[in-house]
Chains A and B, each alone.
Chain A
Amino acid sequence: MSDVNPVPPDGGDILLQVENLVKYFPVKGTAFFQQREYVHAVDDVSFTVRRGETFGIVGETGCGKSTLGRSIARLHDITAGRIVFDGRDISKISQRRMRPLRREIQMIFQDPIGSLNPRRRVGSIIGDPFAIHRTATGTERKRRVQELMERVGLNPEHYNRFPAEFSGGQRQRIGVARALAFQPKLVICDEPVSALDVSIQAQVINLLADLQKEFGLTYIFIAHDLSVVRHVSNNVAVMYLGKMTEIAPADDLFDTPRHPYTGALLSAVPLPDPDHSDERQQIVLVGDVPSPIAPPSGCRFHPRCPKAAPVCVTQDPKLEPRLGDGPGHTAACHLPMAQGENLADFKPSIGAEERVIEPEGVLAADALPDASGNGTGDGSTVALPASGEGGKS
């Protein structure tokens, strides 16, 4: 069980190049005389994906990762920027010209229920690519569909069943089969295992790995589960509010994160390891993700960042190598984290009006225990509500 990386970081040629991609959505319902508001779903994103690798994208709700995936697949028109796929600029081509390219860029969606038409039979669903691109008909099409079904671990005799008759993991396999009909060059997986049970997740992850090896696929793997992303990816990008805050090879990102958001994200993930959770220092970020309609100025993370300084409010940091890292590891931060730094030791040096409102109560800063889970006395001064019946002795 060796840890072999078939794609050396500076080896394989570039399959996808995204430059300064921007995608804004107009906010509906603004009256004529009001200024148009936009959701800044993806704001100036640039990255490169090499042939044969798995490029992971993580982020929380509202960070724009799904929109990014769909924009690359040209399911949306993009607002600005360039997408170069296999040497071709597909940023602005029409949907009609995009059609033949759809054999090369495919998507697998998150929701195994919603991504399959409930009123169509599975054989017909998987056969869609052949029908749309007119490459096989009749018995030939059926044969190829059944071949695909077998390839992904489905029983080919279930050709005529409806999606509702399959379990969640099996439905996801149907989606995979459909995406693979033409052995595309690039497969964009948008949260492919999030909706599945844990034991089934592992099956599907293994399946995707096998297929990658067999067909030489390149994956963009979008997910919010950091453990899964670390497992599958060669390189990982972290997104926050429409921007990429850090890009690094998977192990580097998890071992030496540079961006404080990455640090906070990693510390928030509960690992199935009691020793680890007893020992670790958990950084609990305050507040919620701001609205992408009016994102904060400068570095978008500054209202919640434990290290925020005045420069973070005014200047949007560039995504570039920091603290002596190589070109493969970039972070967009003025005050990146050095190795061994503990975010809990820092306090932001900007005024309260630039910060999110600090909560009181059990989430107040001075209520943080020394070690997570083994809270020492609560330092906050919140009065107990008058008790009714209860377990409090």
Chain B
Amino acid sequence: MALLEVEDLTVSFRTADGIVQAVRGVSYDIEAGQTLGIVGESGSGKSVSTQTITGLTKGAQVSGRAVFQGTDLLTASPAQMQAIRGAKIGMIFQDPLSSLHPYYRVGWQIVEMIRLHDRDMSRDDARKRAVELLRLVGIPQPETRVHDYPHQFSGGMRQRAMIAMAMALNPALLIADEPTTALDVTVQAQVLRVIARMQEMFGTAVILITHDLGVIADVADEVLVMYGGKVMERSDRRTLFYASHHPYTEGLLQSLPAYGGARERLRPIPGQPPSLLDPPPGCPFAPRCPYAFDRCRTEMPPLDPVGGDAGHVSACWLPHDSAARAEVREKVLRAQPAGSAGA
């Protein structure tokens, strides 16, 4: 059985403008020790889905199941969730300055977290553990640094301190929500290195949420592509980059400057990200899809395997047979004015 099985997760919020359907029927699972990358832009629902699973969304209407080590997190009691969060599921967020308490010393925060879950550990032992953790994530001079406040750490160090705190109790699953988006590229490399090595050492499964396809190419085993609150495609890493099926994935890859030769005109996806207030029926990507036809606008395609590979699924009405799919792609490309982006 998978470590975490999410089944048909739906999350909506009531706002002044109406009901925002942030997540619409999302299913995925992750095995122990695996790295699942979730990729998507604003409004894709990628952050909301994991936040809901860990019980961090207040006031949301939630349906579906999220079974973690035998417990459905969506129906668990607050006491159960308290016990799971931190000890069995660790979380790190984009901005460590706002997720670490600014008024308490870093070491103190780690100690408190440890002792919250492990009441038998003495304060002294917990403190030693905190220092060891900071050393492990590469904070220099951890014995002194453990007494510092968060603002005395640099951005990269804060993020690594967060990783230390998240990993303190050896959780089975680590959820990293855009952990490197706000960081410089060299610092990002450090943080990703730390996550990868910690994962190796402890056998932790990692859900990494990001919009950066480069990061995905680096660290993910499996990748989930989300758009407009739904899963568009799921596959392993190599398949996603070299043999993707879904037009949205294709569009994302093509709009990157690193792709295509240097200096060619980029091929962006035309249009804007979708509104979640009143989503149209059918595929959420249809308004921007160069391949869209009538059925796409009225009926949501199911997540079906591509080319007989059960590990690669795509929610698209285009043929799932690779040869037929390639044919369609050629036809559409020829029909577009060359060099444009399929406006």
Q: Which residues of B contact A273 (CB under 8 A)?
A: 217, 241, 258
Q: Determine whether A139 belongs to the interface, using a CB cutoff of 8 Å to chain B.
A: no
From A1, A288, A389, give the contact of B88 (CB < 8 A).
A389
Query: Please, which residue of chain A has its CB at the minimum distance from the CB of B137?
Result: A361
Q: Which residues of A contact B188 (CB under 8 A)?
A: 268, 270
On whether the beta carbons of B218 and A392 are closer than 8 Å, the reply is no
Most buried by B among A199, A364, A372, A393: A199
Give complex CA distance A168, B42 in Å: 10
On whether the beta carbons of B135 and A270 are closer than 8 Å, the reply is no
From A209, A226, A251, A390, give the contact of B172 (CB < 8 A).
A390
Contact with A along B23-60 (1 / 0, CB 8 A): 00000000011000000011000000000000000000
From A60, A206, A390, give the contact of B268 (CB < 8 A).
A206
Minimum CB–CB distance for A139 against chain B, Å: 30
On whether the beta carbons of A3 and B204 are closer than 8 Å, the reply is no
Q: Determine whether B290 belongs to the interface, using a CB cutoff of 8 Å to chain A.
A: no
Q: Determine whether A14 belongs to the interface, using a CB cutoff of 8 Å to chain B.
A: no
From B201, B252, B262, give the contact of A3 (CB < 8 A).
B262
Q: Which residues of B contact A29 (CB under 8 A)?
A: none
Q: List the count of A-B residue pairs having beta carbons below 8 Å apart.
A: 226
Q: Which residues of B contact A389 (CB under 8 A)?
A: 87-88, 169-170, 172
Q: Which residues of B contact A271 (CB under 8 A)?
A: 214, 217, 258
On whether the beta carbons of A390 and B169 are closer than 8 Å, the reply is yes
Query: Please, which residue of chain A has its CB at the minimum distance from the CB of B170?
Result: A390
On whether the beta carbons of A373 and B197 are closer than 8 Å, the reply is no
On whether the beta carbons of B265 and A270 are closer than 8 Å, the reply is no
Given contacts A277-B218, A362-B198, is CB(A60)–CB(B186) below 8 Å? yes
Give complex CA distance A178, B259 in Å: 31
On whether the beta carbons of B171 and A391 are closer than 8 Å, the reply is yes
From A230, A356, A390, give the contact of B257 (CB < 8 A).
A230
Q: Which residues of chain A in 236-255 are interfacial with respect to chain B, using CB atoms and an 8 Å cutoff?
A: 250-251
On whether the beta carbons of B87 and A199 are closer than 8 Å, the reply is no
Q: Which residues of B contact A373 (CB under 8 A)?
A: 196, 218-219
On whether the beta carbons of B268 and A203 are closer than 8 Å, the reply is yes
Minimum CB–CB distance for A288 against chain B, Å: 4
Query: Please, which residue of chain A has its CB at the minimum distance from the CB of B153?
Result: A288
On whether the beta carbons of A272 and B185 are closer than 8 Å, the reply is no
Q: Determine whether A136 belongs to the interface, using a CB cutoff of 8 Å to chain B.
A: no
Give complex CA distance A187, B218 in Å: 35
Give complex CA distance A202, B171 in Å: 39
Q: Which residues of B contact A232 (CB under 8 A)?
A: 257
Give complex CA distance A358, B142 in Å: 12
Give complex CA distance A282, B197 in Å: 14
Q: Determine whether A339 belongs to the interface, using a CB cutoff of 8 Å to chain B.
A: no
Q: Determine whether B228 belongs to the interface, using a CB cutoff of 8 Å to chain A.
A: no
Query: Please, which residue of chain B has its CB at the minimum distance from the CB of A193?
Result: B257
On whether the beta carbons of B190 and A285 are closer than 8 Å, the reply is yes
Query: Please, which residue of chain A has its CB at the minimum distance from the CB of B240?
Result: A274
On whether the beta carbons of B203 and A383 are closer than 8 Å, the reply is no
Query: Please, which residue of chain A has its CB at the minimum distance from the CB of B270?
Result: A203
Q: Determine whether B339 belongs to the interface, using a CB cutoff of 8 Å to chain A.
A: yes
Give complex CA distance A276, B137 in Å: 26
Q: Determine whether B341 belongs to the interface, using a CB cutoff of 8 Å to chain A.
A: yes
Give complex CA distance A197, B269 in Å: 11
Q: Which of B11-19, B91-99, B205-213 contacts A (4 or more CB under 8 A)?
A: B205-213
Minimum CB–CB distance for A227 against chain B, Å: 4
Q: Determine whether A387 belongs to the interface, using a CB cutoff of 8 Å to chain B.
A: yes
From B42, B255, B263, give the contact of A201 (CB < 8 A).
B255
On whether the beta carbons of B186 and A268 are closer than 8 Å, the reply is yes
Give complex CA distance A1, B260 in Å: 10
Q: Determine whether A284 belongs to the interface, using a CB cutoff of 8 Å to chain B.
A: yes
User: Interface size on A (CB < 8 Å)?
Assistant: 70
User: Interface size on B (CB < 8 Å)?
Assistant: 84
Q: Determine whether A8 belongs to the interface, using a CB cutoff of 8 Å to chain B.
A: no
Give complex CA distance A206, B339 in Å: 11
Q: Which residues of A contact B258 (CB under 8 A)?
A: 227, 230-231, 271-273
Q: Which residues of B contact A270 (CB under 8 A)?
A: 188-189, 192, 212, 214-215, 217-218
On whether the beta carbons of A274 and B238 are closer than 8 Å, the reply is yes
Q: Determine whether B106 belongs to the interface, using a CB cutoff of 8 Å to chain A.
A: no
Q: Which of B72-80, B154-162, B305-313, B323-331 contacts A (4 or more CB under 8 A)?
A: B154-162
Minimum CB–CB distance for A362 against chain B, Å: 4
Query: Please, which residue of chain A has its CB at the minimum distance from the CB of B253?
Result: A272
Q: Determine whether A265 belongs to the interface, using a CB cutoff of 8 Å to chain B.
A: yes
Q: Which residues of chain A in 60-86 are interfacial with respect to chain B, using CB atoms and an 8 Å cutoff?
A: 60-61
Give complex CA distance A378, B138 in Å: 14
On whether the beta carbons of A391 and B186 are closer than 8 Å, the reply is no
On whether the beta carbons of B256 and A277 are closer than 8 Å, the reply is no
Minimum CB–CB distance for A360 against chain B, Å: 5
On whether the beta carbons of A388 and B169 are closer than 8 Å, the reply is yes
Give complex CA distance A359, B136 in Å: 9
Q: Determine whether B319 belongs to the interface, using a CB cutoff of 8 Å to chain A.
A: no
Q: Determine whether A93 belongs to the interface, using a CB cutoff of 8 Å to chain B.
A: no
Most buried by B among A272, A289, A367: A272
On whether the beta carbons of B133 and A385 are closer than 8 Å, the reply is yes
Given contacts A224-B184, A277-B218, A391-B32, is CB(A375)–CB(B138) below 8 Å? no
Q: Determine whether B117 belongs to the interface, using a CB cutoff of 8 Å to chain A.
A: yes
On whether the beta carbons of B193 and A388 are closer than 8 Å, the reply is no
Q: Which residues of A contact B157 (CB under 8 A)?
A: 288
On whether the beta carbons of B203 and A288 are closer than 8 Å, the reply is no
Query: Please, which residue of chain A has its CB at the minimum distance from the CB of B41?
Result: A197
Give complex CA distance A367, B168 in Å: 20
Give complex CA distance A331, B273 in Å: 42
Known pairs A3-B263, A230-B257, A391-B173 / 11 extra A-B pairs, C-beta < 8 Å: A1-B265, A167-B273, A199-B273, A230-B258, A231-B263, A270-B218, A271-B217, A272-B216, A284-B193, A288-B154, A358-B140
Complex A-B: 22 CB contacts under 8 Å: A60-B187, A198-B213, A205-B266, A226-B185, A251-B262, A269-B214, A270-B217, A273-B258, A274-B241, A282-B193, A284-B186, A284-B190, A287-B140, A357-B140, A362-B201, A364-B138, A385-B132, A387-B170, A389-B172, A390-B172, A391-B170, A392-B202
Q: Name B's A-contacting residues (CB within 8 A).
A: 3, 32-33, 41-42, 87-88, 117-118, 129, 132-133, 135-141, 154-157, 168-173, 184-190, 192-194, 196-198, 200-205, 211-219, 237-238, 241-242, 251-253, 255-259, 261-270, 272-273, 338-339, 341
Question: Closest 8 CB pairs between A and B?
Answer: A390-B170, A363-B138, A202-B268, A270-B214, A231-B257, A362-B197, A359-B138, A202-B255
